[in-house]
Amino acid sequence: MKVTKEIEKLENSAVKLTITIDKKDVSAGYDETLTKYSKNLQLPGFRKGKVPVSVLERKYGDALKNDVAGELIEKALEEVFGEFDKEKSENRPLAYSQPQLDSLPQLDVSKDLVFSVIYDVMPTVKIDDFSGIKIEEPQVEITDDDMSEELKAIQERNAMVLDKKDSEPAANGDIVTINYLELDENGEEIAGSKREGFVFTIGTGENIYKIDDEIIGMKKDETKEITKTYAEDFADKDLAGTTKKIKVTVTALKIRDLPALDDELAQDVNEKYKTLDDLKADIKKNLTTAKDNRVKEIKSNSLIEQLVEKYPVEIPQSMLNAELESRWRMMAQRFQCSVEQLDKLMASSGQKKEDLLKEWEDDAAKMLKGRIIVESLLKESKIEVTPEEVEEEYTKIAEGAGISVEEVKKHYADAVRKEYLIDDIKEQKLYTEIFAKVKITKGEKKKFADLFKNA
Protein backbone atom coordinates (compact mmCIF):
# COMPACT_ATOMS: atom_id res chain seq x y z
CA MET A 1 0.00 0.00 0.00
CA LYS A 2 1.36 3.41 -0.99
CA VAL A 3 0.89 5.90 1.83
CA THR A 4 2.35 9.28 2.69
CA LYS A 5 2.29 10.78 6.16
CA GLU A 6 2.54 14.17 7.79
CA ILE A 7 3.04 14.91 11.51
CA GLU A 8 1.78 18.03 13.25
CA LYS A 9 2.82 18.68 16.87
CA LEU A 10 0.00 19.66 19.20
CA GLU A 11 -0.14 20.79 22.85
CA ASN A 12 0.47 18.46 25.81
CA SER A 13 2.68 16.03 23.87
CA ALA A 14 -0.04 15.12 21.36
CA VAL A 15 0.38 14.82 17.60
CA LYS A 16 -1.90 14.89 14.59
CA LEU A 17 -0.93 12.23 12.06
CA THR A 18 -2.34 12.81 8.58
CA ILE A 19 -2.12 9.86 6.17
CA THR A 20 -2.82 9.87 2.46
CA ILE A 21 -3.60 6.54 0.75
CA ASP A 22 -2.97 6.51 -3.01
CA LYS A 23 -6.14 6.40 -5.12
CA LYS A 24 -4.93 3.21 -6.84
CA ASP A 25 -4.95 1.41 -3.48
CA VAL A 26 -8.34 2.92 -2.68
CA SER A 27 -9.78 1.63 -5.96
CA ALA A 28 -8.15 -1.78 -5.50
CA GLY A 29 -9.48 -2.06 -1.96
CA TYR A 30 -12.96 -1.16 -3.09
CA ASP A 31 -12.89 -3.71 -5.93
CA GLU A 32 -11.57 -6.40 -3.58
CA THR A 33 -14.41 -5.77 -1.13
CA LEU A 34 -17.01 -5.82 -3.90
CA THR A 35 -15.68 -9.14 -5.17
CA LYS A 36 -15.71 -10.62 -1.67
CA TYR A 37 -19.31 -9.58 -1.07
CA SER A 38 -20.53 -10.68 -4.50
CA LYS A 39 -19.12 -14.15 -3.94
CA ASN A 40 -20.61 -14.63 -0.48
CA LEU A 41 -23.77 -12.54 -0.37
CA GLN A 42 -27.13 -14.04 -1.23
CA LEU A 43 -30.04 -11.81 -2.21
CA PRO A 44 -33.63 -12.72 -3.16
CA GLY A 45 -33.77 -13.46 -6.90
CA PHE A 46 -30.06 -14.21 -7.21
CA ARG A 47 -28.05 -17.33 -6.60
CA LYS A 48 -25.23 -17.17 -4.04
CA GLY A 49 -22.15 -15.69 -5.67
CA LYS A 50 -24.12 -14.39 -8.65
CA VAL A 51 -25.22 -10.98 -7.34
CA PRO A 52 -24.22 -8.32 -9.90
CA VAL A 53 -21.82 -5.65 -8.70
CA SER A 54 -24.18 -2.92 -9.86
CA VAL A 55 -26.92 -4.33 -7.59
CA LEU A 56 -24.54 -4.44 -4.63
CA GLU A 57 -23.47 -0.84 -5.19
CA ARG A 58 -27.04 0.38 -5.60
CA LYS A 59 -28.30 -1.45 -2.49
CA TYR A 60 -25.28 -1.20 -0.16
CA GLY A 61 -23.12 1.54 -1.68
CA ASP A 62 -22.62 3.74 1.38
CA ALA A 63 -22.13 0.80 3.74
CA LEU A 64 -19.60 -0.78 1.37
CA LYS A 65 -17.63 2.44 1.13
CA ASN A 66 -17.59 2.80 4.93
CA ASP A 67 -16.32 -0.77 5.28
CA VAL A 68 -13.59 -0.18 2.70
CA ALA A 69 -12.58 3.11 4.33
CA GLY A 70 -12.37 1.40 7.73
CA GLU A 71 -10.21 -1.44 6.42
CA LEU A 72 -7.89 0.91 4.51
CA ILE A 73 -7.48 3.16 7.55
CA GLU A 74 -6.69 0.18 9.78
CA LYS A 75 -4.11 -1.23 7.33
CA ALA A 76 -2.49 2.17 6.83
CA LEU A 77 -2.19 2.80 10.58
CA GLU A 78 -0.71 -0.66 11.15
CA GLU A 79 1.86 0.03 8.45
CA VAL A 80 2.81 3.51 9.68
CA PHE A 81 2.87 2.60 13.37
CA GLY A 82 4.92 -0.48 12.49
CA GLU A 83 7.49 1.80 10.87
CA PHE A 84 7.47 4.07 13.93
CA ASP A 85 8.10 1.09 16.21
CA LYS A 86 10.89 -0.24 14.02
CA GLU A 87 12.57 3.17 13.91
CA LYS A 88 11.83 3.81 17.60
CA SER A 89 10.37 7.10 16.45
CA GLU A 90 9.31 9.76 18.94
CA ASN A 91 5.99 9.80 17.05
CA ARG A 92 4.95 6.37 18.33
CA PRO A 93 1.62 6.51 20.19
CA LEU A 94 1.70 5.79 23.89
CA ALA A 95 0.48 2.29 24.71
CA TYR A 96 -2.44 3.70 26.67
CA SER A 97 -3.32 6.44 24.14
CA GLN A 98 -5.97 5.29 21.68
CA PRO A 99 -5.63 7.20 18.36
CA GLN A 100 -8.81 9.11 17.59
CA LEU A 101 -10.02 9.88 14.07
CA ASP A 102 -10.18 13.63 13.54
CA SER A 103 -13.21 13.06 11.27
CA LEU A 104 -14.58 10.15 9.25
CA PRO A 105 -13.37 10.56 5.65
CA GLN A 106 -15.69 10.09 2.68
CA LEU A 107 -14.48 7.41 0.28
CA ASP A 108 -14.22 8.33 -3.39
CA VAL A 109 -12.70 5.49 -5.43
CA SER A 110 -11.33 8.01 -7.93
CA LYS A 111 -9.38 10.02 -5.35
CA ASP A 112 -6.74 9.62 -2.65
CA LEU A 113 -8.12 8.78 0.78
CA VAL A 114 -6.93 11.35 3.34
CA PHE A 115 -7.57 11.01 7.07
CA SER A 116 -6.08 12.22 10.35
CA VAL A 117 -5.72 10.70 13.81
CA ILE A 118 -4.78 12.45 17.03
CA TYR A 119 -2.94 10.68 19.84
CA ASP A 120 -0.48 11.22 22.69
CA VAL A 121 3.25 10.56 22.34
CA MET A 122 6.07 10.27 24.84
CA PRO A 123 7.08 13.79 25.95
CA THR A 124 10.57 14.87 24.90
CA VAL A 125 12.93 17.27 26.59
CA LYS A 126 16.44 18.41 25.72
CA ILE A 127 18.71 18.91 28.74
CA ASP A 128 21.86 20.75 27.67
CA ASP A 129 22.64 23.15 30.50
CA PHE A 130 23.22 22.43 34.19
CA SER A 131 24.21 25.96 35.15
CA GLY A 132 22.38 27.33 38.17
CA ILE A 133 21.85 23.87 39.67
CA LYS A 134 22.92 23.88 43.32
CA ILE A 135 22.66 20.84 45.57
CA GLU A 136 23.06 20.77 49.33
CA GLU A 137 24.48 17.55 50.73
CA PRO A 138 23.27 16.75 54.28
CA GLN A 139 26.08 16.18 56.78
CA VAL A 140 25.42 13.06 58.82
CA GLU A 141 27.55 11.07 61.24
CA ILE A 142 26.79 7.68 62.77
CA THR A 143 26.78 8.31 66.52
CA ASP A 144 26.84 6.10 69.61
CA ASP A 145 23.13 6.86 70.05
CA ASP A 146 22.42 5.49 66.55
CA MET A 147 24.33 2.34 67.42
CA SER A 148 22.42 2.02 70.68
CA GLU A 149 19.07 2.33 68.88
CA GLU A 150 20.02 -0.48 66.50
CA LEU A 151 21.22 -2.71 69.32
CA LYS A 152 18.02 -2.00 71.25
CA ALA A 153 15.96 -2.99 68.22
CA ILE A 154 17.92 -6.24 67.97
CA GLN A 155 17.27 -6.91 71.64
CA GLU A 156 13.55 -6.35 71.16
CA ARG A 157 13.43 -8.67 68.13
CA ASN A 158 15.08 -11.39 70.19
CA ALA A 159 13.13 -10.72 73.40
CA MET A 160 10.88 -13.19 75.20
CA VAL A 161 7.30 -11.95 75.64
CA LEU A 162 5.99 -12.83 79.11
CA ASP A 163 2.66 -12.27 80.89
CA LYS A 164 2.70 -9.69 83.67
CA LYS A 165 1.27 -10.63 87.03
CA ASP A 166 -2.41 -9.71 87.40
CA SER A 167 -1.53 -7.41 90.29
CA GLU A 168 1.02 -5.42 88.28
CA PRO A 169 -0.20 -2.19 86.61
CA ALA A 170 0.37 -1.27 82.98
CA ALA A 171 3.56 0.66 82.35
CA ASN A 172 5.24 2.38 79.45
CA GLY A 173 6.66 -0.21 77.05
CA ASP A 174 4.19 -2.96 78.01
CA ILE A 175 2.28 -4.84 75.33
CA VAL A 176 -1.40 -4.31 76.11
CA THR A 177 -4.54 -5.92 74.73
CA ILE A 178 -7.73 -3.90 75.11
CA ASN A 179 -11.41 -3.90 74.26
CA TYR A 180 -12.83 -0.45 73.67
CA LEU A 181 -15.88 1.41 72.46
CA GLU A 182 -16.97 5.02 72.18
CA LEU A 183 -19.80 6.45 74.34
CA ASP A 184 -22.24 9.19 73.42
CA GLU A 185 -23.26 12.07 75.71
CA ASN A 186 -25.79 9.79 77.43
CA GLY A 187 -23.18 7.12 78.14
CA GLU A 188 -24.58 4.78 75.48
CA GLU A 189 -22.43 2.82 73.05
CA ILE A 190 -21.97 4.46 69.66
CA ALA A 191 -22.78 1.93 66.98
CA GLY A 192 -19.76 0.70 65.00
CA SER A 193 -17.18 1.98 67.50
CA LYS A 194 -16.64 -1.29 69.34
CA ARG A 195 -13.31 -3.11 68.94
CA GLU A 196 -12.08 -6.21 70.77
CA GLY A 197 -8.61 -7.69 71.12
CA PHE A 198 -6.72 -4.59 69.98
CA VAL A 199 -2.99 -4.96 70.71
CA PHE A 200 -0.32 -2.24 70.86
CA THR A 201 2.76 -1.23 72.83
CA ILE A 202 2.12 1.51 75.38
CA GLY A 203 4.09 4.63 74.54
CA THR A 204 4.11 4.15 70.78
CA GLY A 205 0.83 5.99 70.18
CA GLU A 206 -0.18 3.25 67.75
CA ASN A 207 -3.88 3.49 68.59
CA ILE A 208 -6.65 5.67 67.19
CA TYR A 209 -7.47 7.69 70.31
CA LYS A 210 -3.85 8.08 71.56
CA ILE A 211 -4.77 6.87 75.04
CA ASP A 212 -1.35 5.50 76.05
CA ASP A 213 -0.98 7.74 79.10
CA GLU A 214 -4.53 6.99 80.27
CA ILE A 215 -3.92 3.22 80.20
CA ILE A 216 -0.74 3.44 82.29
CA GLY A 217 -1.61 2.26 85.82
CA MET A 218 -4.55 0.06 84.76
CA LYS A 219 -4.46 -3.65 85.61
CA LYS A 220 -5.67 -6.71 83.77
CA ASP A 221 -9.52 -6.96 83.64
CA GLU A 222 -9.86 -3.36 84.77
CA THR A 223 -12.38 -1.13 82.95
CA LYS A 224 -12.09 2.63 82.72
CA GLU A 225 -14.00 5.45 81.06
CA ILE A 226 -11.62 7.95 79.50
CA THR A 227 -12.63 11.47 78.47
CA LYS A 228 -10.15 13.02 76.09
CA THR A 229 -10.19 16.38 74.31
CA TYR A 230 -8.23 16.78 71.08
CA ALA A 231 -6.59 19.98 69.89
CA GLU A 232 -7.88 21.79 66.81
CA ASP A 233 -4.69 20.89 64.94
CA PHE A 234 -4.72 17.21 65.97
CA ALA A 235 -3.29 14.99 63.22
CA ASP A 236 -6.48 12.92 62.85
CA LYS A 237 -8.96 15.32 61.25
CA ASP A 238 -11.92 13.25 62.47
CA LEU A 239 -10.82 13.80 66.08
CA ALA A 240 -9.42 17.34 65.82
CA GLY A 241 -11.34 19.81 68.00
CA THR A 242 -13.56 17.12 69.56
CA THR A 243 -14.01 15.56 72.99
CA LYS A 244 -14.40 11.78 73.10
CA LYS A 245 -15.51 9.44 75.87
CA ILE A 246 -13.95 5.98 75.44
CA LYS A 247 -14.70 2.92 77.55
CA VAL A 248 -11.60 0.71 77.79
CA THR A 249 -11.06 -2.75 79.32
CA VAL A 250 -7.55 -4.18 79.65
CA THR A 251 -7.70 -7.90 78.81
CA ALA A 252 -3.97 -8.74 78.79
CA LEU A 253 -0.63 -7.23 79.77
CA LYS A 254 2.73 -8.53 78.62
CA ILE A 255 6.35 -7.43 78.95
CA ARG A 256 9.39 -8.00 76.78
CA ASP A 257 12.22 -9.78 78.58
CA LEU A 258 15.20 -8.31 76.73
CA PRO A 259 18.33 -10.46 76.34
CA ALA A 260 21.68 -9.12 77.52
CA LEU A 261 23.94 -7.38 75.02
CA ASP A 262 26.73 -9.96 74.88
CA ASP A 263 28.50 -12.41 72.59
CA GLU A 264 25.71 -14.94 73.03
CA LEU A 265 23.13 -12.52 71.60
CA ALA A 266 25.43 -11.78 68.65
CA GLN A 267 25.69 -15.50 67.92
CA ASP A 268 21.90 -15.86 68.15
CA VAL A 269 21.44 -13.09 65.60
CA ASN A 270 23.70 -14.80 63.04
CA GLU A 271 26.23 -17.58 63.25
CA LYS A 272 28.74 -15.46 61.32
CA TYR A 273 29.16 -13.29 64.44
CA LYS A 274 31.47 -14.68 67.10
CA THR A 275 31.46 -11.67 69.40
CA LEU A 276 29.33 -8.62 70.15
CA ASP A 277 32.05 -6.49 68.57
CA ASP A 278 31.57 -8.40 65.29
CA LEU A 279 27.87 -7.55 65.38
CA LYS A 280 28.57 -3.90 66.18
CA ALA A 281 31.03 -3.62 63.29
CA ASP A 282 28.43 -4.99 60.89
CA ILE A 283 25.77 -2.61 62.25
CA LYS A 284 28.13 0.35 61.74
CA LYS A 285 28.82 -0.79 58.19
CA ASN A 286 25.12 -1.20 57.37
CA LEU A 287 24.21 2.17 58.89
CA THR A 288 26.95 3.84 56.88
CA THR A 289 25.70 2.22 53.67
CA ALA A 290 22.12 3.25 54.45
CA LYS A 291 23.27 6.81 55.19
CA ASP A 292 25.28 7.06 51.96
CA ASN A 293 22.41 5.70 49.88
CA ARG A 294 19.91 8.09 51.46
CA VAL A 295 22.20 11.10 50.97
CA LYS A 296 22.64 10.10 47.34
CA GLU A 297 18.85 9.80 47.00
CA ILE A 298 18.32 13.26 48.50
CA LYS A 299 20.89 14.76 46.11
CA SER A 300 19.29 12.98 43.14
CA ASN A 301 15.81 14.18 44.10
CA SER A 302 17.07 17.75 44.46
CA LEU A 303 18.73 17.55 41.05
CA ILE A 304 15.60 16.25 39.31
CA GLU A 305 13.33 18.78 41.07
CA GLN A 306 15.50 21.64 39.81
CA LEU A 307 15.67 20.21 36.29
CA VAL A 308 11.88 19.84 36.22
CA GLU A 309 11.66 23.51 37.19
CA LYS A 310 14.23 24.54 34.59
CA TYR A 311 12.93 22.34 31.76
CA PRO A 312 9.11 22.16 31.82
CA VAL A 313 7.67 18.89 30.52
CA GLU A 314 4.16 18.52 29.10
CA ILE A 315 2.51 15.41 30.52
CA PRO A 316 -0.24 13.91 28.32
CA GLN A 317 -3.50 13.32 30.15
CA SER A 318 -3.48 9.67 29.07
CA MET A 319 -0.09 9.17 30.73
CA LEU A 320 -1.25 10.87 33.92
CA ASN A 321 -4.45 8.81 33.98
CA ALA A 322 -2.46 5.59 33.55
CA GLU A 323 -0.18 6.51 36.46
CA LEU A 324 -3.13 7.36 38.72
CA GLU A 325 -4.86 4.07 37.88
CA SER A 326 -1.60 2.24 38.61
CA ARG A 327 -1.46 3.88 42.05
CA TRP A 328 -5.06 2.90 42.64
CA ARG A 329 -4.22 -0.75 41.86
CA MET A 330 -1.23 -0.57 44.21
CA MET A 331 -3.48 0.78 46.94
CA ALA A 332 -5.82 -2.19 46.41
CA GLN A 333 -2.85 -4.54 46.77
CA ARG A 334 -1.87 -2.88 50.05
CA PHE A 335 -5.42 -3.38 51.30
CA GLN A 336 -5.20 -6.98 49.99
CA CYS A 337 -8.34 -6.60 47.92
CA SER A 338 -9.37 -6.26 44.30
CA VAL A 339 -9.81 -2.90 42.58
CA GLU A 340 -13.57 -3.47 42.53
CA GLN A 341 -13.59 -4.18 46.28
CA LEU A 342 -11.55 -1.04 46.91
CA ASP A 343 -14.07 1.01 44.92
CA LYS A 344 -16.88 -0.33 47.11
CA LEU A 345 -14.84 0.21 50.29
CA MET A 346 -14.22 3.85 49.42
CA ALA A 347 -17.87 4.39 48.50
CA SER A 348 -19.08 2.87 51.77
CA SER A 349 -16.83 5.22 53.75
CA GLY A 350 -18.22 8.25 51.93
CA GLN A 351 -15.07 8.84 49.87
CA LYS A 352 -14.95 9.18 46.10
CA LYS A 353 -12.26 7.61 43.96
CA GLU A 354 -12.28 10.67 41.72
CA ASP A 355 -11.54 12.99 44.65
CA LEU A 356 -8.62 10.86 45.84
CA LEU A 357 -7.13 10.62 42.34
CA LYS A 358 -7.42 14.41 42.08
CA GLU A 359 -5.39 14.75 45.29
CA TRP A 360 -2.69 12.54 43.80
CA GLU A 361 -2.43 14.41 40.50
CA ASP A 362 0.30 16.92 41.40
CA ASP A 363 2.57 14.31 42.95
CA ALA A 364 2.01 11.88 40.07
CA ALA A 365 2.72 14.56 37.44
CA LYS A 366 5.88 15.61 39.28
CA MET A 367 7.10 12.02 39.40
CA LEU A 368 6.37 11.46 35.68
CA LYS A 369 8.20 14.66 34.70
CA GLY A 370 11.23 13.58 36.71
CA ARG A 371 11.16 10.13 35.13
CA ILE A 372 10.99 11.58 31.61
CA ILE A 373 13.96 13.85 32.33
CA VAL A 374 16.01 10.93 33.64
CA GLU A 375 15.13 8.80 30.59
CA SER A 376 16.07 11.69 28.30
CA LEU A 377 19.42 12.14 30.05
CA LEU A 378 20.14 8.41 29.86
CA LYS A 379 19.35 8.38 26.15
CA GLU A 380 21.65 11.33 25.47
CA SER A 381 24.49 10.00 27.65
CA LYS A 382 24.59 6.56 25.97
CA ILE A 383 25.89 5.09 29.24
CA GLU A 384 26.83 1.43 29.04
CA VAL A 385 27.23 -1.16 31.80
CA THR A 386 30.00 -3.75 31.61
CA PRO A 387 29.72 -7.36 32.85
CA GLU A 388 32.36 -6.47 35.45
CA GLU A 389 30.16 -3.68 36.84
CA VAL A 390 27.22 -6.08 37.10
CA GLU A 391 29.43 -8.49 39.04
CA GLU A 392 30.47 -5.68 41.38
CA GLU A 393 26.79 -4.86 41.98
CA TYR A 394 26.06 -8.51 42.76
CA THR A 395 28.78 -8.39 45.43
CA LYS A 396 27.39 -5.17 46.95
CA ILE A 397 23.90 -6.62 47.11
CA ALA A 398 25.17 -9.84 48.67
CA GLU A 399 27.13 -7.97 51.35
CA GLY A 400 24.21 -5.70 52.15
CA ALA A 401 21.71 -8.55 52.41
CA GLY A 402 24.06 -10.92 54.22
CA ILE A 403 23.70 -13.62 51.57
CA SER A 404 26.03 -15.28 49.08
CA VAL A 405 26.82 -13.86 45.64
CA GLU A 406 25.48 -17.10 44.15
CA GLU A 407 22.09 -16.45 45.77
CA VAL A 408 22.03 -12.94 44.32
CA LYS A 409 22.93 -14.25 40.86
CA LYS A 410 20.17 -16.82 41.10
CA HIS A 411 17.66 -14.06 41.89
CA TYR A 412 18.80 -12.04 38.86
CA ALA A 413 18.89 -15.03 36.53
CA ASP A 414 15.50 -13.81 35.38
CA ALA A 415 16.10 -11.60 32.31
CA VAL A 416 13.60 -8.92 33.35
CA ARG A 417 15.05 -8.58 36.86
CA LYS A 418 18.57 -8.36 35.47
CA GLU A 419 17.48 -5.67 33.01
CA TYR A 420 16.03 -3.65 35.90
CA LEU A 421 19.35 -4.02 37.75
CA ILE A 422 21.33 -2.87 34.72
CA ASP A 423 19.01 0.13 34.29
CA ASP A 424 19.57 1.04 37.94
CA ILE A 425 23.36 0.85 37.51
CA LYS A 426 23.09 3.09 34.44
CA GLU A 427 21.04 5.60 36.41
CA GLN A 428 23.53 5.70 39.27
CA LYS A 429 26.38 6.25 36.79
CA LEU A 430 24.35 9.06 35.23
CA TYR A 431 23.93 10.83 38.58
CA THR A 432 27.65 10.49 39.29
CA GLU A 433 28.43 12.16 35.95
CA ILE A 434 25.97 15.01 36.55
CA PHE A 435 27.07 15.61 40.15
CA ALA A 436 30.53 16.34 38.74
CA LYS A 437 29.00 19.12 36.59
CA VAL A 438 26.89 20.92 39.21
CA LYS A 439 27.67 22.83 42.38
CA ILE A 440 27.40 20.69 45.52
CA THR A 441 27.73 22.38 48.90
CA LYS A 442 27.69 21.10 52.46
CA GLY A 443 24.19 21.18 53.87
CA GLU A 444 22.96 21.26 57.44
CA LYS A 445 24.03 18.67 59.96
CA LYS A 446 21.39 16.02 60.52
CA LYS A 447 20.85 13.11 62.82
CA PHE A 448 20.78 9.70 61.18
CA ALA A 449 17.14 9.13 62.12
CA ASP A 450 16.06 12.56 60.79
CA LEU A 451 17.65 11.70 57.45
CA PHE A 452 14.93 9.13 56.83
CA LYS A 453 11.93 11.19 57.88
CA ASN A 454 9.43 11.54 55.02
CA ALA A 455 11.57 9.19 52.93
Q: What is the pLDDT of residue 345?
A: 84
Q: What is the pLDDT of residue 397?
A: 92
Question: Would you list the domain boundaries of the chain?
Answer: 3-120, 134-141+265-451, 160-257
> Any bridge partners for residue 195, and if so which?
180
- Spell out, as residue ranges, where the chain has pLDDT lower than 50: none
Is 134-141+265-451 in CATH node 3.90.550.10?
Answer: no
**Distance between CA atoms of 25 and 451, rounded to whole angstroms?**
66
DSSP 276-301: HHHHHHHHHHHHHHHHHHHHHHHHHH
CATH code, 3-120: 3.30.70.1050
Q: What is the pLDDT of residue 425?
A: 96
CATH topology of domain 160-257: Chitinase A; domain 3 (3.10.50)
Q: What is the pLDDT of residue 30?
A: 83
Task: Evaluate whether 310 touches 376 at the Cβ level (below 8 Å).
Answer: no
CA dihedral 414, 418, 420, 426 (to 10 degrees): -170
The structure's pTM equals 0.73
Q: What is the pLDDT of residue 213?
A: 96
Q: What is the pLDDT of residue 254?
A: 96
Q: What is the pLDDT of residue 348?
A: 80
Task: Evaluate whether 369 touches 315 at the Cβ level (below 8 Å).
Answer: yes
**Distance between CA atoms of 316 and 246, rounded to whole angstroms?**
50
